Protein backbone atom coordinates (compact mmCIF):
# COMPACT_ATOMS: atom_id res chain seq x y z
CA UNK A 1 0.00 0.00 0.00
CA UNK A 2 1.16 3.53 -0.76
CA UNK A 3 -0.58 6.73 0.34
CA UNK A 4 -0.23 10.17 -1.24
CA UNK A 5 -1.78 13.17 0.53
CA UNK A 6 -1.83 16.95 0.55
CA UNK A 7 -3.90 20.07 1.12
CA UNK A 8 -6.37 21.58 -1.31
CA UNK A 9 -5.25 25.20 -1.29
CA UNK A 10 -8.06 27.67 -1.98
CA UNK A 11 -7.45 31.39 -1.34
CA UNK A 12 -11.22 32.07 -1.30
CA UNK A 13 -12.00 29.48 1.40
CA UNK A 14 -8.77 28.87 3.36
CA UNK A 15 -8.60 30.46 6.80
CA UNK A 16 -5.95 33.03 7.72
CA UNK A 17 -5.00 32.33 11.33
CA UNK A 18 -2.18 33.21 13.70
CA UNK A 19 -1.24 30.38 16.10
CA UNK A 20 1.40 32.63 17.68
CA UNK A 21 4.19 32.47 15.10
CA UNK A 22 2.64 34.69 12.46
CA UNK A 23 -0.26 34.28 10.06
CA UNK A 24 -0.67 30.99 8.21
CA UNK A 25 -3.25 29.64 5.78
CA UNK A 26 -5.31 26.75 7.14
CA UNK A 27 -6.85 24.65 4.36
CA UNK A 28 -10.39 23.42 4.86
CA UNK A 29 -9.96 20.39 2.61
CA UNK A 30 -7.30 17.72 2.05
CA UNK A 31 -6.89 14.95 -0.52
CA UNK A 32 -5.58 11.42 -0.10
CA UNK A 33 -4.92 8.69 -2.66
CA UNK A 34 -4.44 5.09 -1.55
CA UNK A 35 -2.71 2.72 -3.99
CA UNK A 36 -2.95 -1.02 -3.41
CA UNK A 37 -2.01 -4.13 -5.34
CA UNK A 38 -4.99 -6.45 -5.31
CA UNK A 39 -4.44 -10.21 -5.66
CA UNK A 40 -0.72 -9.60 -5.17
CA UNK A 41 0.03 -13.35 -4.91
CA UNK A 42 -1.41 -14.28 -8.32
CA UNK A 43 -1.94 -11.54 -10.91
CA UNK A 44 -1.36 -8.18 -9.19
CA UNK A 45 -3.63 -5.37 -10.27
CA UNK A 46 -2.97 -1.80 -9.21
CA UNK A 47 -6.02 -0.01 -7.74
CA UNK A 48 -6.19 3.67 -6.78
CA UNK A 49 -8.75 5.09 -4.36
CA UNK A 50 -9.07 8.88 -4.07
CA UNK A 51 -10.58 10.74 -1.12
CA UNK A 52 -11.28 14.34 -0.14
CA UNK A 53 -11.51 15.15 3.57
CA UNK A 54 -13.36 18.33 4.53
CA UNK A 55 -12.89 19.82 8.00
CA UNK A 56 -15.20 22.83 7.49
CA UNK A 57 -17.93 21.53 9.82
CA UNK A 58 -15.42 20.63 12.54
CA UNK A 59 -13.83 24.08 12.34
CA UNK A 60 -17.27 25.70 12.55
CA UNK A 61 -18.23 23.56 15.55
CA UNK A 62 -14.94 23.51 17.50
CA UNK A 63 -12.88 26.41 16.09
CA UNK A 64 -9.22 26.08 15.22
CA UNK A 65 -7.72 26.07 18.71
CA UNK A 66 -10.02 23.31 20.00
CA UNK A 67 -10.23 21.34 16.76
CA UNK A 68 -10.58 17.59 17.35
CA UNK A 69 -8.76 15.26 14.95
CA UNK A 70 -10.97 12.85 13.11
CA UNK A 71 -13.89 15.23 12.67
CA UNK A 72 -13.70 15.20 8.87
CA UNK A 73 -16.38 14.67 6.27
CA UNK A 74 -14.81 12.09 3.94
CA UNK A 75 -15.70 11.60 0.29
CA UNK A 76 -14.44 8.99 -2.15
CA UNK A 77 -13.79 10.77 -5.43
CA UNK A 78 -12.33 10.17 -8.87
CA UNK A 79 -8.66 11.15 -9.11
CA UNK A 80 -9.64 13.65 -11.81
CA UNK A 81 -11.59 15.51 -9.09
CA UNK A 82 -8.46 15.76 -6.94
CA UNK A 83 -6.53 17.02 -9.97
CA UNK A 84 -9.23 19.61 -10.61
CA UNK A 85 -9.49 20.80 -6.98
CA UNK A 86 -5.83 20.58 -5.88
CA UNK A 87 -3.96 20.94 -9.16
CA UNK A 88 -2.08 17.68 -8.51
CA UNK A 89 -1.34 15.44 -11.48
CA UNK A 90 -0.79 11.73 -11.18
CA UNK A 91 1.21 9.32 -13.31
CA UNK A 92 -0.83 7.72 -16.14
CA UNK A 93 -0.47 4.31 -14.44
CA UNK A 94 -2.09 5.72 -11.29
CA UNK A 95 -4.88 7.36 -13.31
CA UNK A 96 -5.50 4.06 -15.13
CA UNK A 97 -5.89 2.32 -11.74
CA UNK A 98 -8.55 4.79 -10.49
CA UNK A 99 -11.53 2.76 -9.28
CA UNK A 100 -13.86 5.76 -9.75
CA UNK A 101 -12.68 6.82 -13.23
CA UNK A 102 -15.56 5.20 -15.09
CA UNK A 103 -18.26 6.22 -12.59
CA UNK A 104 -21.01 8.50 -13.94
CA UNK A 105 -20.48 12.18 -13.05
CA UNK A 106 -23.20 12.10 -10.36
CA UNK A 107 -21.42 9.14 -8.67
CA UNK A 108 -17.88 10.56 -8.66
CA UNK A 109 -18.28 11.94 -5.11
CA UNK A 110 -19.53 9.48 -2.51
CA UNK A 111 -19.64 10.45 1.17
CA UNK A 112 -18.07 7.80 3.40
CA UNK A 113 -19.86 7.56 6.74
CA UNK A 114 -18.58 4.20 7.99
CA UNK A 115 -15.97 1.59 7.24
CA UNK A 116 -18.71 -0.79 6.11
pLDDT single digits (tens) 48-105: 999 999 988 888 887 776 545 556 678 889 999 999 989 999 999 999 999 988 887 7
Given a contact cutoff of 8 angstroms between Cβ atoms, the answer to whether 2 and 35 are in contact is yes
Q: What is the mean pLDDT of the chain?
A: 84
Report the Cα 74 to chain-centroid distance in Å: 8
User: Quick one: pLDDT band at residue 38, thresholds 50, 70, 90?
Assistant: confident
Residue 92 backbone class (left: φ over 0; alpha: ψ -120 to 50; beta: rest): alpha
Tell me what pLDDT residue 1 has. 86
Tell me what pLDDT residue 58 has. 83
Number of C-alpha atoms within 13 angstroms, CB side, residue 24?
9
Amino acid sequence: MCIFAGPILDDDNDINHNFGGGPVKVPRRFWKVVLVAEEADTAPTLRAYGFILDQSDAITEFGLEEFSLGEFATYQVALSGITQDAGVTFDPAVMAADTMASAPDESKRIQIKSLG
